[in-house]
């Protein structure tokens, strides 16, 4: 098995303009977003290894918050996930794959988690 590095940010709560039904449009909906980014690791991480040998975890958070265009309405949460993947691919050529899990909090009636996970490879 080849070495791999998986960076993660889990359970960010972000308000996003999304939805197709009239009760969903026009106001932001709360989404719970988790992101994993796959990349090749450095040969070794010594105690003095600089951040440039990896990726700043805050880049993942940025892709799900500030990088989402304010005022842009995404009909599907799949579109939100695609935007996050594109942001991470464009920001760092070392990112090989990205998975984005989104749960729509506003439609849950109990403890269920309704949403989707999108995984994209840089090559795909």
The model's pTM: 0.91
How many C-beta atoms lie closer than 10 Å to residue 92's C-beta?
13
pLDDT of residue 117: 98
Proportion of the chain above pLDDT 90, given as a percent: 77
Q: In degrees rounded to 5, what are phi and psi of residue 92?
A: -155, 110
CATH architecture of 5-41+52-121: 2-Layer Sandwich (3.30)
How many C-beta atoms lie closer than 10 Å to residue 30's C-beta?
12
Give the least confident one: 66-75, 82-91, 92-101. Answer: 66-75
pLDDT tens digits for range 3-17:
999 999 999 999 999
pLDDT of residue 124: 58
């Amino acid at each position: 098995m080849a070495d791999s590095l998986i960076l993660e940010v889990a359970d960010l709560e972000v308000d996003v303009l999304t939805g197709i039904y009239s009760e969903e449009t026009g106001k932001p909906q709360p989404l719970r977003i988790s992101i994993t980014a796959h990349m090749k690791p450095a040969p070794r991480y010594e105690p003095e290894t600089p951040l440039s040998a990896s990726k700043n975890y805050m880049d993942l958070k940025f892709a799900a918050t500030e990088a989402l265009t304010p005022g842009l309405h995404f009909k599907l949460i799949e579109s939100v996930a695609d935007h996050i993947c594109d942001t991470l691919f464009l920001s760092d050529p070392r990112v090989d794959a990205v998975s984005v899990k989104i749960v729509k909090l506003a439609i849950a009636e109990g403890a269920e988690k309704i949403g989707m996970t999108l995984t994209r490879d840089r090559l795909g």
